[in-house]
Amino acid sequence: MIPLQAIAETGTTPGGALLVLGIVMPAVALVALIGLGGRAARMIVAAALLFQLYVAVRVALLVAGSATPLAYVVGGFQPPLGITLRADGVSALMMVVSAVIFLGAASFAWKDFAQARGQPEARLSLIFWSALLAMASALNLLFTSTDLFNLYVGLELLTFAAIPVVAIKGGAETLRAALRYLLFAVFGSMLYLFGIVLIYGAYGTLAISAIAAQVQPNAATLAAAGFVTVGLLAKTALFPFHLWLPPAHAGAPAAGSAVLSALVVKGSLFLLMRLWFDTFPSLREPADMQLLAFLGALAVIIGSVTALRQPRLKLLVAYSTVAQIGYMFFVFTLVPKTAGDIVASAAWTGAWLQVVAHAFAKAGMFLAAGLVAEVLGHDRIRDLGGLSARAPLVVLTFAISGLSLMGLPPSGGFSAKFMLLAAALAEGHWVWATVIIAGGVLAGAYVFAVLARMMAAPTKAAELASIGRTRQLIALGLASVSVLMGLMPLHPIAFFEIGRFP
């Protein structure tokens, strides 16, 4: 075993306490919310999420300013006994993205989950806002922890916060979706836990950097990596583990779907990248990574084709998430074991841009789909006619989110897919390059199919409900971020490389 002093890497850095606050303050707010009751919920949530944004921006500025990661040794015990939090470039990026999307989703949900003045506590209010706070805490934990068991706690918290959001509407269909989600997620948790038990048995530590320093390609380690990977794939809904996602994401209220699709599936994906790039970098054999990319390719094709065949808008948007997640798995094969050249950097940047652009585009699109269902009283794609005249902002939101999903310029989705494509071609992976292009064409097909319906003449004179302008602007704002990202130069971004484990 390595002596303790050798394992202890960096201690707490200036500003490291921000990482603790990012995880703990939403938990403080959650305790206050349950203790004081749902009537105080919105004020508590607003304060917590604004603080969350402040913390995330400060972390990003500190990481960018020093070009080194932030770290905090919780409780003062260095690994392997204790737990260290650490924010590198991509942690800081994801903290900011999640803080912004949480604020957007919460503002969108502000009226829906309100609490009537002078009335007793409402169920919706308590459940929704509690779950939102817990998800915010869990995601920051997943983005910054460097301890495999601590990360497991983060996964559990995220799962148990996401399921009430799926189940919140009640009714047989959503409960079935929530139960299916629960079964997949618990299956994933068990595999992950079993994998890290093996790792602890083999290396006597759960700290990522300590494992990376001594990892050997022996049977126990490979089995552990396999278990952990399959467990995380189940939670990330990569094909063929995607079956739980569409009913769950389509069954939640719009603001919930936005957070689930934009952020929650990225939590386990983030951990998967931590695992293969930081914990077991030396185990990244091309053949195994090709398998992940192959599943990603199948997800792109099958997810998009299935999206095309959906009769309901929210299900179409959910299947589009299945497809868009697939792109993110090309990173495992496009960033080779011995990184460092410009092609690998382009693939790395492309994958993270895809994560971020999809987060904003999908948040905007799910909110737009929610508004569509509210205006028309249904979300049958066949009967969307006349929407462009009655709710032009909603149609615009759907269109510009679609731009990023298709990967048309200018959009973050374009930059992401272009860089992934360039890396795939430079490394001679013409199969993945073909899939990236085909996926864009298929996304174009399902986005335009919906837009064409929205622009068509009304099928029947239906009673239309009115929707507030504020919520339309929130959806549009989130979708616009995905387009504005396209104005950045097509260049590997140095910030994403800060503090990558060597």
Partner 1 sequence: MMETGFDVVLALMLLGVGGWSIIARNMMTAVIIFIAYGLLLSLAWVRLHAVDVSLTEAAIGSGATGLLMVIAAHKVAGDSQRVVRLSRGFHVLAAVFATLVAIGIASLAFVLPGAPVSLAAPVLERLPESGLGNPVAGVLFVYRSFDTLLEKVVLLLALIGVWALARDQDWGGVPGLRLFQHPHSVLMLLARTLPPIGFVFAIYMTWAGADVPGGAFQGGTVLAAMWILVMVAGVRRVPRVSSPLLRLAIVAGPLVFLAIGFLGFVAPGVFLAYPDGLAKPLIVVMEVALTLSIAVILGLLIAGPPRAKDSA
Q: Select 112 or 121, whichever has its Cβ closest to partner 1.
A: 121
Which sign does the torsion angle of CA 121, 122, 123, 124 carry? negative
Supply the minimum distance, in Å, between the C-beta of residue 449 and partner 1.
34
Q: Select 31 or 431, whichever has its Cβ closest to partner 1.
A: 31
Q: Select 66 or 214, whichever has its Cβ closest to partner 1.
A: 214
Q: Do residues 202 and 279 touch, judged by C-beta distance below 8 A? A: no
SS (H, E, C) 360-395: HHHHHHHHHHHHHHHHHCCCEHHHCCCHHHHCHHHH
Supply the minimum distance, in Å, between the C-beta of residue 144 and partner 1.
12
Nearest-angstrom CA–CA distance, 245 and 315 = 10
Q: Select 150 or 229, whichever has its Cβ closest to partner 1.
A: 150
Q: Select 122 or 490, whichever has its Cβ closest to partner 1.
A: 122
Supply the minimum distance, in Å, between the C-beta of residue 415 and partner 1.
36
Q: Select 75 or 118, whichever has its Cβ closest to partner 1.
A: 75
Q: Select 170 or 286, whichever has its Cβ closest to partner 1.
A: 170
Supply the minimum distance, in Å, between the C-beta of residue 141 and partner 1.
7
Binding site for partner 1 (CB under 8 A): 1, 4, 12, 17, 20, 23-24, 27-28, 30-31, 34-37, 72-77, 80-83, 120-124, 126-127, 130-131, 134, 137, 141, 149-150, 153-154, 156-157, 160-161, 163-164, 167-168, 170, 175, 194, 198, 200-205, 218-220, 223
SS (H, E, C) 194-215: HHHHHHHHHHCCCEHHHHHHHC
Q: Select 161 or 433, whichever has its Cβ closest to partner 1.
A: 161
Beta strands 83-87 and 70-74, pairing class:
antiparallel
Nearest-angstrom CA–CA distance, 240 and 322 = 10
Nearest-angstrom CA–CA distance, 97 and 259 = 11
Q: Select 34 or 437, whichever has its Cβ closest to partner 1.
A: 34
Which of 195, 222, 218, 217 shows the shortest CA–CA distance to 206? Answer: 195
Which of 149, 143, 148 shows the shortest CA–CA distance to 88? Answer: 143
Q: Select 30 or 454, whichever has its Cβ closest to partner 1.
A: 30
**Core vs surface per residue 257-277: b (16+ CB within 10 A) or e:** bbbbbbbbbbbbbbbbbbbbb
Supply the minimum distance, in Å, between the C-beta of residue 122 and partner 1.
7
Supply the minimum distance, in Å, between the C-beta of residue 152 and partner 1.
9
Distances (CA, A) of 432 to 62, 426, 435: 37, 12, 5
Nearest-angstrom CA–CA distance, 123 and 131 = 12
Q: Do residues 49 and 105 touch, judged by C-beta distance below 8 A? A: no
Q: Do residues 343 and 426 touch, judged by C-beta distance below 8 A? A: yes
**3-class DSSP assignment, residue 170:** coil
Residue type, 228: V
Q: Which residues contact 288 (CB under 8 A, 6 or more apart)?
A: none
Q: Can you list the pairs that 78-82 forms with residues at least 24 positions away whose Cβ atoms lie under 8 Å? A: 78/4, 78/7, 78/8, 78/11, 79/7, 79/8, 79/9, 79/146, 79/147, 79/205, 79/206, 79/207, 79/209, 79/210, 80/4, 80/7, 80/204, 80/205, 80/206, 80/207, 80/210, 81/4
Which backbone phi and psi does 315 adopt, to 5 degrees? -70, -40
Q: Do residues 25 and 51 touch, judged by C-beta distance below 8 A? A: yes
Supply the minimum distance, in Å, between the C-beta of residue 407 and partner 1.
36
Q: Select 16 or 296, whichever has its Cβ closest to partner 1.
A: 16
Q: Select 205 or 404, whichever has its Cβ closest to partner 1.
A: 205
**3-class DSSP assignment, residue 318:** helix
Q: Can you name the residues that pair with 409 across neighbouring β-strands? A: none
Which of 448, 417, 283 shows the shortest CA–CA distance to 347? Answer: 417
Q: Select 49 or 316, whichever has its Cβ closest to partner 1.
A: 49
Supply the minimum distance, in Å, between the C-beta of residue 102 and partner 1.
16
Supply the minimum distance, in Å, between the C-beta of residue 331 and partner 1.
28
Supply the minimum distance, in Å, between the C-beta of residue 200 and partner 1.
8
Q: What is the DSSP string of 40-68?
A: GHHHHHHHHHHHHHHHHHHHHHHHHHHSS
Supply the minimum distance, in Å, between the C-beta of residue 155 and partner 1.
10
Supply the minimum distance, in Å, between the C-beta of residue 178 and partner 1.
8
Supply the minimum distance, in Å, between the C-beta of residue 185 and partner 1.
12
